[in-house]
Structure 1
Amino acid sequence: MPLQVDRPADLATFVGVELQSETFSLTQSDVDRFVALSGDRQWIHSDVERAKTELPAGRTIVPGNLLLVQLPRLLQEAYGVTHFEKCLVAEYRHVRFKHAVGTDVPLFLQAEFLSVTPTRNFVRVETACAINFVESQKAALTATVVDLFYDTRRIPEGK
């Protein structure tokens, strides 16, 4: 069950706690749609027949940037905040593509809150993320994500 809190600042209680998403995989159809949008037309992503004979796993490779853009969705699976106006991704730091990911390979997100910092206008949430292979538990991608949760309907102090 994902972590659920009422307000963004409530996440401070969970700094250092490990969270996980459900298992997922990216299909050839996902890759094809991403390639059409990104223009990344390397054969390793799109030529299924060639991949069968020329790539070690015999399958196409998921573009690294397609893996990276899964982070917001996966974080939303791992935890939820009930009351906030909007959340913006402010920063991706320390992005590392550690291992190539083939299509249809089971993965999951492992995340840990590094800091939760309330400010006057927003709550800054810094999260260490790793998209891991289910089978080996090794990281395919690691990154630090900084989200800004805005909440203009603040609860008055003491409530």
Structure 2
Amino acid sequence: MTIIKNYDEFEAYLGKDLGTSPYHKIDQAQINQFADATLDHQWIHVNAAKAESEGPFKATIAHGYLTLSLIPYLWKKIVDIQNLKMEINYGIEDLRFGQAVVVDSEVRLKVKLVAIANLRGITKATIHVELEVKDQKKAAFAGNVVFLYHFID
């Protein structure tokens, strides 16, 4: 795990891969909980029998936004940003979904620091992310996420 304690340490990774998270299995229980939390109960996500008989993937699939919501969790498995007053999820740029994530798939996040700026003491970090699906060639998604970090002086 990479440990970052200040802007200068973070900036040293500009243009470099920061690492890859361990795999995380997305099971039906997690998909159902996400459906409940977001009120999105589309059958392709929650009805295993219908998905198997009528769906294009022959199984349920994770919501695209469920896969996105794993970014903070998986990011923290790769990098430990310490010495913070505050951190903010600031934005997502140029993100594209590459393929569906079928239930019980294992996914992991691969990250690279593509831009960093010091905005009057606030670190704006742009991280390129790819959610890899185990044993698949295409990523579930790829794009840039932007975080703001306020390090303790």
With the length of structure 1 as denominator, give the TM-score of the two structures: 0.89
More strand by share: 2
Q: Distance in 1 between matches of 2:11 and 2:106?
A: 31
Instruction: Identify the residue that residue 77 of structure 1 maps to in structure 2.
Output: 77
Question: Per-residue displacement from partner, 1:103-155 (whole Å, max 9, x unpaired)?
Answer: 1101111110001212213111100001011212421111210000012x31x
Larger Rg: 1
Q: Distance in 2 between matches of 1:29 and 1:56?
A: 21
1:91-130 to 2 correspondences below 5 Å? 91-130=91-130
Instruction: Identify the residue that residue 30 of structure 1 maps to in structure 2.
Output: 30
Task: For 1:52, give the aligned amino acid.
Answer: E
Identity, in percent, stands at 21
- Deviation, 1:56, is 4.3
Q: Distance in 2 between matches of 1:125 and 1:3?
A: 15
Q: Distance in 2 between matches of 1:86 and 1:9?
A: 17
Task: For 1:6, give the aligned amino acid.
Answer: K
- Deviation, 1:59, is 1.6
With the length of structure 2 as denominator, give the TM-score of the two structures: 0.92
Q: Distance in 1 between matches of 2:141 and 2:148?
A: 22
- Deviation, 1:41, is 1.6
Question: Per-residue displacement from partner, 1:34-87 (whole Å, max 9, x unpaired)?
Answer: 111111121000001122222344320100011111111111111111211111
* CA RMSD, 1 decimal: 1.4
Runs (4+) of structure 1 exceeding 6 A deviation are none
Uncovered stretches (5+) of structure 2, i.e. residues with no partner: none
Report the secondary structure of 2:58's partner residue. Answer: coil
Uncovered stretches (5+) of structure 1, i.e. residues with no partner: 155-159
Q: Distance in 1 between matches of 2:83 and 2:123?
A: 12
Mapped pair 1:63 → 2:63? yes
1:142-153 to 2 correspondences below 5 Å? 142-151=142-151, 153=152
Report the secondary structure of 1:147's partner residue. Answer: strand
Q: Count matched residues.
A: 152
